[in-house]
Structures are given as C-alpha cells and as structure tokens.
C-alpha cells in the first residue's frame, strides 16, 4: 500500500487558510490532519468544531482529526457533525478506551488512538484489532516545530510487530518532526501515514514538498 501524507493544518497560514487548503486539494496529500488542543491535556489551544466545519467545506480530502483534549467522549458526535472522517483520541486521556473507540465507530468515523512519546505500544495490545489507526507522537504534543524524537524509529518497528502478530489492519501514523531527512526511514520501519506541518507549510513550495514526501519508498 502506498503511504499516506496528511499535512497538518495547524501549521498553515490562517489568514490565507482557503488558499492553503486549495493547495492541499491539488497535491498528492491523501488526508488533512487537524489538531484539536484544549490547553489542559496539552499546553496549547488550537480551535474547535466551528473551524473544523469551515475547513471541511473547503477541503476535498478526508479530515484526520486528532483530539488532544481531556474528556474526549463529550465531543465525539460534535466532531462527526463538523466533518471528521478519522477521529483519534489519546490513550492517556481515555480511562475506558474500548468504550470510546466503539462510540467513534458507531458514529461512522474511523477510530484512532494516539500515544505520547513515553507511552509503550504494549498498552495497545488488547485493542489493536479494534482500531483503524495508531498515531505515534514523535514529539511531545502541544506545539509544532519540535525536534523529532529518535526513539520513534524503534517504536514504529515494535508497533508493526504487534500489528502483524495480532493479524490486524491498523495503520501506523507518525505525528511530529517528520521531514525530508527522516520520512523514508519511518516508512521502511513500518509507518503508513506521515503527518507533516512545518516541513510542508514552511517550504518554499509546499505542494512540491508534499509530492516529494508522497513518493514511493523502497522497503
């Protein structure tokens, strides 16, 4: 399967958001990644459902919505109504993770689970077959532009082993610090989806950068 590029709208120019979304529509990106931060689970605040709804109106690609919030269960239906196609919650924020995942699927969205850099992949063993995606945070969540954590390569390989052992179809997504220097190794280690923020929107030609990241990688 060809890997997926999901540019992170958090790094776009919000004064020219429609223009940036149009660029994504015309690129080789398959998804658009949308980070929701509440200032409690992570030390930053992004935006809410109204902005997601407006993004959905302009975007022709599926919305990959990543909830970095406490009590995500309260807002699952709201994000469905706003246009989320994939909805990812944090393992660390969900005391009843199976119930949350089931609710997301019942709302006709693909459920994902994100794990912070310190969270071992072994904690997902009992639920890996129930989810469509695992988002490995390769930086500490909350801010863009951070340095990539090198242990992520090992973590991706370990998660891939778990997925294969459980005969699951779960995708591995990497979020944070993905760039033109490390993306090939991430794919080779087993990643399926790459979230890219500053690497894309900080480039002289964002569309060309997306297209470069999307090129097939020899494993």
Write b or e for each residue in 20-33: b if 16 or more Cβ atoms lie within 10 A of its Cβ, otherwise e. Answer: bbebbeebbbbbbb
Which DSSP letter does residue 217 get? Answer: -
Residue among 38, 64, 175, 192 flagged as catalytic? 175
- Edge-first strand listing for the sheet containing 32-37: 4-7, 193-196, 171-175, 133-137, 110-115, 86-90, 63-68, 32-37
DSSP for 100-168, written as a single string = HHHHHHHTT-EEEEEE-TTS-GGGGTTTGGG-SEEEEESS-TT-SSPPPPTTHHHHHHHHHHHHHHTT-
Query: Of the listed 35, 38, 64, 132, which one is catalytic?
Result: 35
Residue 41 exposed, middle or buried by CB count within 10 Å (0-12, 13-18, 19+):
buried
For residue 75, CA distances in Å to 48, 56, 126, 128, 137 come to: 10, 17, 24, 23, 22
- Annotated catalytic, 126? no
Q: If you count them, how many residues does the chain have?
A: 219
Judge whether 35 counts as a catalytic residue: yes
The torsion angles phi and psi of 4, rounded to 5 degrees, stand at: -110, 135
Name the token pair of 158: 């370990």
Catalytic residue IDs? 35, 175
């Amino acid at each position: 399967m060809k890997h997926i590029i999901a540019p992170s709208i958090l790094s776009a120019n919000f004064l020219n958001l429609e223009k940036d979304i149009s660029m994504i529509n015309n690129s080789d990106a398959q998804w658009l990644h949308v980070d929701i931060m509440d200032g409690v689970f992570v030390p930053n605040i992004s935006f809410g459902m109204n902005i997601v709804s407006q993004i959905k109106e302009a975007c022709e690609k599926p919305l990959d919505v990543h909830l970095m919030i406490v009590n995500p269960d309260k807002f699952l239906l709201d994000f469905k109504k706003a246009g989320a196609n994939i909805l990812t919650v944090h393992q660390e924020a969900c005391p009843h993770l199976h119930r949350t995942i089931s609710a997301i699927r019942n709302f006709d969205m693909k459920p994902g689970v994100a794990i912070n850099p310190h969270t071992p992949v072994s904690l997902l063993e009992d639920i890996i077959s129930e989810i469509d995606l695992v988002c490995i945070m390769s930086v500490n969540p909350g801010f863009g532009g951070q340095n990539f954590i090198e242990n992520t390569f090992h973590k991706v390989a370990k998660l891939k082993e778990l997925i294969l052992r459980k005969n699951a179809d779960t995708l591995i997504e990497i979020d944070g610090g993905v760039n033109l220097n490390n993306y090939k190794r991430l794919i080779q280690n087993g990643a399926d989806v790459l979230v890219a923020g500053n690497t894309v929107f900080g480039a002289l030609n964002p569309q060309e950068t997306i297209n470069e990241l999307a090129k097939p990688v020899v494993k």
